[in-house]
Structure 1
Amino acid sequence: MTTTATALIPELDEIVRTGDPRRRAEAARRIGELFLQGAAGFSTDHIDLFDGVLTSLVPHAESAARAELAERLSLLSNAPRTLIGQLAREDEIAIAGPLLRRCPVIDERVLVEIARAKGQEHLLAMAERPKLSADLTDVIVRRGDRDVVRRAVGNAGAEFSAGGYSTLIRRASQDSVLTLAVGQRADLSPEQLKTLVAGSVDIVRRRLFDVVKPERQAAIKQAISEINGMSEKVDSARDFAPAQRTILALHHADQLNELALLDFAKSFKYEETVCALAAMTGVKIATLDRLITGDRYDPILIAGKTIGLEWATVRALILLRLGPNRVPSPADIESARLNFTRLMPSTAQRVVDFWKTR
């Protein structure tokens, strides 16, 4: 095998400098196969030699050949690091995917760089790695879509920072599947569990209680007790249970959004509107019910700003609060609009976080 390598190397300088793409691709195939056949017996110096040569030649190989090479290299614990980084940065997920999923030699720095730059397919592949650092999951949780985040949370080898968990819990308030996944993680602290439970609707709380381990059930009971959860009556004059079922069905169908909220408000469906707003903000139904029926419309502005509602939706919520038989003055509506425009999202978020602890 060493003799074969020696025979190839004199040709390489010429191939790299003057060879046409076809010759370079053929050289990449031959040398790649040579490396794969002898990888188990190569020294560090040999691997570095192959690394330098293949890094120059592999980009000229066809996509299918690069994908096959990446698949085979992903299983090696001594794969050439520079070549691995090069292939893992490719846009084609068929090439980058196997390496991002399992290759043990990719530097953490490279993984974070790719997570910050590439799309959802690359993030999804990384979410399947046997181990995920907190630095990497911080990026995944911030940039990943629903499927990516769910996959990362379901990964027992993933670590999450305090900030990562805060983001997860905030996203879970609008994703019942994510709520169940986060609630089952062994590294979730009691305080984080309490915040997670506080941001979920009653139906999801009950489901979470059913799926967690017995030792976690006690913690959920305690969290619910502390926030006056399932035992609390929302309002003796209102029955929110049917509305909760409606909202949960929309949630599962990925149709719980601003348009649905606007439709409920315009139709003066109070219970459905409050349940939808609770699911979208993470604030308890009982808390929102008390705030919305209070003397001021400020809570509507605050909740709307936190989840990025358009003014038209906020206006419909204000009209819902007044009821179908009352018409606000144009001056009041304009004052509300100006206050909504001036309200900073960070200020609104602090208020909503306070509501969640009540």
Structure 2
Amino acid sequence: MIISPSLIPELDDIISRGDPQRRADAARRISELFLQGAASFRSDHVELFDGVLTSLVPHAEIEARADLAERLSMLANAPRGLVGQLAHEDEIAIAGPLLRRSPVIDEKMLIEIASVKGQDHLLAMAERPTLSTDLTDVLVDRGERDVVRRAAGNAGAAFSSTSYSTLIKRAGQDGILTIRLGQRDDLSSDHLKELLSGSIDVVRRRLFQVVKPERQADIKQAMAVINAPSEREERRDFLPAQRTVLKLHREGMLGEAALLNFARAFKYEEAVAALSALTGVKIETLDRLISGDRYDPILIAGKTIDLEWATVRALILLRLGPNRTASPADIENARVNYARLMPTTAQRVVEFWKTR
């Protein structure tokens, strides 16, 4: 195919010596010519346009390049060099449409761009109809919250075991990510159990409501395993912890600082034994209350002995265990409730606990 001399009468001169405005005008006219006839062009025709446009298009205005990128993103025979050039642009209005759906961009280029560009480019890629494990490894490694959420919600995305583990860890502080991961058909039973173990009750309930019936059965089964007492819990021995706490008491060192240290070190038995000594509530009662589904008993016990919020927070995290994290919203909700809780109300509840 030959580009009509009547359309661009001095094309060679424009490419080699033309000013930016003449080049931009030529880019607009030749782009339009290509888009009008793209459906009927052979590969050699497309290559001809590619060579010309890659020299001219960079001189076009941003709006013109963005419009061209949008239209090229729909074409299976779009000029590869031009598409790659536009997809590498920093302006997301230009690169975005191509990164989202262009069938011309190959895997190697996507990974290259994902490795160096910013979050907007990663977010656009996360919407592609299919995402390979090699590409999602980069998205998960470099992507911030919105990127991983969008990738996790993409049914056409595939994730490696390593990326799934990373996503599940991040989901411990992100309820939306938890729900999107939980709805994935390719999530294994082990990964589902790991996901649920790191989530809070309200997120679990929401996930159960939105998943397919067959996944609901998987969730019930996973929760049964999670909630089943472990051998360690069945054999929980508080005697060594009581001896430690008694020694601190004799030395005059049993107080809030010791309790905080136990909680931060995830020494559950020692923390419960210390809280028991400070509140007068039996260890067995506190153990049963604290290991339940709610953090309210910790707020109540803490209020009766006027614990600082930092100590109460550490006890809440201790309740979850070292492998689970609470969302910032849940922690803030607990802080507000602790501040509002009246000492007299807390004391009445504790007195009831002592009679049990």
Does the alignment reach a TM-score above 0.5? yes
Q: Indicate the larger mover: 36-45 or 196-205.
A: 196-205
> What do the CA deviations read for 1:86-127 (whole angstroms, capped 9, x no partner)?
001100011111111111111111111111111111111111
CA distance in structure 2 between the aligned counterparts of 1:229 and 1:109, rounded to whole angstroms: 47
CA distance in structure 2 between the aligned counterparts of 1:126 and 1:229, rounded to whole angstroms: 41
Offset of residue 147 of structure 1? 1.0
CA distance in structure 2 between the aligned counterparts of 1:113 and 1:278, rounded to whole angstroms: 43
**Is residue 8–residue 26 contact of structure 2 (8 Å, CA) maintained in 1?**
no
Offset of residue 198 of structure 1? 1.4
CA distance in structure 2 between the aligned counterparts of 1:238 and 1:163, rounded to whole angstroms: 33
Give identity over the alignment, percent.
63
CA distance in structure 2 between the aligned counterparts of 1:284 and 1:234, rounded to whole angstroms: 21
CA distance in structure 1 between the aligned counterparts of 2:291 and 2:226, rounded to whole angstroms: 20
| Shift in CA distance, 98/28, structure 1 to aligned 2, threshold 3 Å | same
Aligned residue in 2 for 1:171: 170
In the TM superposition, 1:1-358 aligns within 5 A as: 5-7=4-6, 11-228=10-227, 235-238=287-290, 243=295, 266-270=308-312, 272-276=313-317, 282-283=323-324
Aligned residue in 2 for 1:250: none
> What do the CA deviations read for 1:273-318 (whole angstroms, capped 9, x no partner)?
3445677964389xxxxxxxxxxxxxxxxxxxxxxxxxxxxxxxxx
**Is residue 224–residue 230 contact of structure 1 (8 Å, CA) maintained in 2?**
no
- Tell me the secondary structure at the aligned position of residue 185 of structure 2: coil
CA distance in structure 1 between the aligned counterparts of 2:8 and 2:286, rounded to whole angstroms: 78
**Is residue 129–residue 156 contact of structure 2 (8 Å, CA) maintained in 1?**
yes
Offset of residue 41 of structure 1? 0.6
| Shift in CA distance, 5/106, structure 1 to aligned 2, threshold 3 Å | farther
**Is residue 25–residue 60 contact of structure 1 (8 Å, CA) maintained in 2?**
yes
Unaligned runs of 5+ in 1: 247-264, 286-358
| Shift in CA distance, 105/200, structure 1 to aligned 2, threshold 3 Å | same
> What do the CA deviations read for 1:133-186 (whole angstroms, capped 9, x no partner)?
111111111111111111111111111111111111111111111111101100
**Is residue 114–residue 121 contact of structure 2 (8 Å, CA) maintained in 1?**
yes
CA distance in structure 2 between the aligned counterparts of 1:145 and 1:185, rounded to whole angstroms: 20
| Corresponding pairs, count | 266
**Structure whose CA Rg is larger:** 2
Q: Indicate the larger mover: 41-50 or 132-141.
A: 132-141
Aligned residue in 1 for 2:338: none
Offset of residue 202 of structure 1? 2.5
RMSD: 3.0
- Tell me the secondary structure at the aligned position of residue 4 of structure 2: helix
CA distance in structure 1 between the aligned counterparts of 2:11 and 2:100, rounded to whole angstroms: 32
CA distance in structure 2 between the aligned counterparts of 1:211 and 1:273, rounded to whole angstroms: 32
CA distance in structure 1 between the aligned counterparts of 2:80 and 2:10, rounded to whole angstroms: 24
CA distance in structure 2 between the aligned counterparts of 1:32 and 1:278, rounded to whole angstroms: 63
Amino acid at match of 2:287: D
Unaligned runs of 5+ in 2: 234-284, 299-306, 327-356
CA distance in structure 2 between the aligned counterparts of 1:47 and 1:94, rounded to whole angstroms: 24
Aligned residue in 1 for 2:344: none
